[in-house]
Amino acid sequence: FRRVLFRSEKELSREAQKCQKQIVMVLAELISLEIIRLCESSPKTVRIDSVKNGNIATIFRGIEYINEHISESFSRDDVAGYVQYTPGYFSHMFSEFTGKSFSEYVMERRITLAKSLLVNTDYPILKISELSGFSSHSLFHRKFREITGTTPQSYRKDHNA
């Protein structure tokens, strides 16, 4: 019992890292199962058997790249290079797997992030457009309205009431 109480921070840190890795692995498995379930039930997405071998893992890596860099400027070619696919093949596999084009998916992710920031922060709209990865304020307004049917200001007002 005493040994447990007096473990060094280093030992505890190593155990925490091991636990963290196990948690990440379990979450990845759960996400995989959920995606498979969604692919099997959604008419917009491809059947899982048409996305072969390592392609699922590669598309996951691409999605992970998108999520990690969503606030930055990047292109399909950047993500394709990251996962070591040609841009054309990556686009094909990405749309087969997600049911959306690369640009549609990225735009939806950016708008989702912007909606969250509008509701959960007091950041100015200009800052939110930057944090959401938009290259210009006008593009942000146009795409936000196109996708949500309302302006960022109205969205914030309606969801903070």
Report pLDDT digits (tens) over 6-37.
555 556 566 666 666 666 666 666 666 666 55
Query: Whole-model pTM?
Result: 0.68
Residue 99 per-residue DSSP state: S
pLDDT of residue 33: 60
Q: Which regions of the chain are under pLDDT 70?
A: 1-54, 161
Q: C-alpha angle 16/18/20, rounded to 5°?
A: 65
Buried/exposed code over 84-105 (b: 16+ C-beta within 10 A; e: otherwise):
ebeeeebbebbbbbbbeebeeb
pLDDT of residue 56: 83
Residues 6+ apart with CB under 8 A from 83: 58, 59, 61, 62, 65, 90
